[in-house]
Structure 1
Amino acid sequence: MHVPTWVWLATIGGLLGIILIDLLVVGRKPHVISIREATRWVLFYVGLAVLFGLGVWAFAGGTYAGEFFAGYITEYSLSVDNLFVFVLIMTGFAVPAEHQHKVLLVGILIALVMRGGFIAVGAAAINAFSWVFFIFAAFLIWTAFSMLRQGIGGDEEEWTEPKVVSLVRRVLPVTREYHGARLSVRVDGKRWVTPMLIVMLAIGLTDLLFALDSIPAIFGLTQEAYLVFTANAFALMGLRQLYFLIGGLLSKLVFLSYGLAVILAFIGVKLVLHALHENELPFLNGGQPVPVPEIGIALSLSVIVGVLIVTTVASLVAVRRNPALAGSTHDQPEPAGALDPAQDAEGGDEQAVTAERGTSER
């Protein structure tokens, strides 16, 4: 699939334009996102992804369109599980409800830029070394095993603050309280950053960690960097509104981790078969391709959609029969406040004075 440079630039420009419109329309006046508003935006972004996929079908053919849709659905479904962690971050930082949309928007923009770098490196590695597929496959299968182990009897992983965020806190002075949507404020002539900047970094960097399994997974469905990038972009853009739409539904998807584990394991097996088919390792079949069957994109798409449907229906039925299941998974912590007081002790008096004098943004 040959994608001219101008198509890349037009696509990136179009995506940035859509995000800018979102920011201007939704973010011009901070407010709590309602279920109705979130539903409209989710449908809007899903509709955009469908139209884009149909465009790929029209200009590049059904195979590439199938790869895009399979990648988009996989990325979106993996992102739903990530929403559990976003809830923990928002709660732990006590982000005001009216500013959560902006936090997610900027955080996901940070993640999208960094994911673009990951995708470029992954595509270059795959083009140069076919054995990289074995590494991706092993990582996906191990991730699937870990998810199953946690779901069966292990404890849910708790979110831990990325080290980069902790470093920012140590290097830059951070206020105790939020100052509206401001990222920084001036206190008696000294510039301070607010918890708003810290939580945006936390969202962006945490999502980047999620990409460690989602990007290898989508490379198992398509090796076209353009499709990998656009599938990630559409999934991330729709993730913000999905956060507000299904916040109350998250605790009811009690079998989601099992379904995602099955999908990751399936893609891992698909990668192994593809790696054997493209084999160049001298110690394996004398460096010649191994004649194994490969899994087509139609079967991949069917398995992914089928597993998600079964997982969702089974979860809702199980919770309806036993409502206690929803309360026993992904419990949210009590708000921990914006910062550890010990990390911001020096700024307490200054900020108390600032509350009376007012603050100004650079």
Structure 2
Amino acid sequence: MGRYKRAYVGGIIGTYSETPTISAPGYMDLITGTWGNKHNVFDNAVINPNYHYKNIFRLLKEHEAQKKIAIFSTWTDNRIKLVGEGLRQAGGVIFDYKFDGYELNQTTYPHDPEDYYIYHIDERVTNETVTCIRTSAPDLSWVYLQYTDDVAHMFGDSDQFNQSILNLDNQIGRMWEAVEYRQKQFNEDWLVIITTDHGRDPITGKQHGEQSNRERTTWIVINKKDTNDYFRDFELSIVDLLPTMARFLSISVPLESARELDGVPLIGNISLAKLEVNLLDNRIECSWKAFEHVGNVTIWLSTTNLFKNGMTDDYQLMATVAVDKETAMIDIQNYPSNFYKIVLAGRHNMVNKWLFRLSYNNSYIST
């Protein structure tokens, strides 16, 4: 079908980007391309999401309003809270096709102690997805299936969990057949990405939310065989998916949003990745991995984080260096601050990091 590779969720352990390995934060990581320190979702209550970090549906609609978007889901919070459908502060995005909330209909789906009703809802979601793909082919769709997580919470590592995965495989197979139908009958080009929001605890497989290796470990399946060297050679993360989708959909991500993205596209050319920054008194040491041998990297610095409040940060151009140099030192003596945002821009993509210090003379690093 394409490519498979292990990936991670949960941000960078012990730093400002560490994010709980919980469902809603994981979904928000995926659809915004940022970690919890930016989108501000840290549990399933989704109390105060920061919609200034635009999700992929909003980016597509703002780029081409006529494009059609769809959601197929058990959990209405995916649409109502995470995407923020219809909310002014979330861009007023409205789904053209939406199939969710079936768990609220207890007449059709009476709740049972082992949550088998969720399997029946996943079947409904699958069938609605298949029909919509075959007949309407939305430009961007989110399909969410829940039963495997419910089974794992109840039974952990078990025969029941293994069977739920086989059920899921069957459901995904039916949706893939609908995609193949569109490709063959209408000569359409489709990007299909399959992933999950978190792993399981290493002892029983029942829980998640912490930062153990198993809870952080997920996977990415993509139907494209022409993935790039970053996909092949480096550890992937859930925040890489928004830049990947945006590139496939030819979305021109606004500069102020592109500077905030924590992921790297998995298809097409990239210039650099794996940025590391180190605060050394009045200098910042930057290092990165180059993916091309021509062209330059521009290094930008801001001492504000106004973007989180919907305003624009003032970035200063600090240096221009050859991308294949893979290191640079910038002088920040004229920019005293407790906080720095560093953005490196290459020909094909950007990467960013934050730095903090306790005081101008007593610094510590959080990268």
- Return the TM-score normalized by structure 2: 0.23
Greater relative contact order (CA < 8 Å, ≥ 6 in sequence):
1
Compare the two structures and name the one with the higher helix fraction.
1
Q: Which has the larger radius of gyration?
A: 1
Compare the two structures and name the one with the higher strand fraction.
2
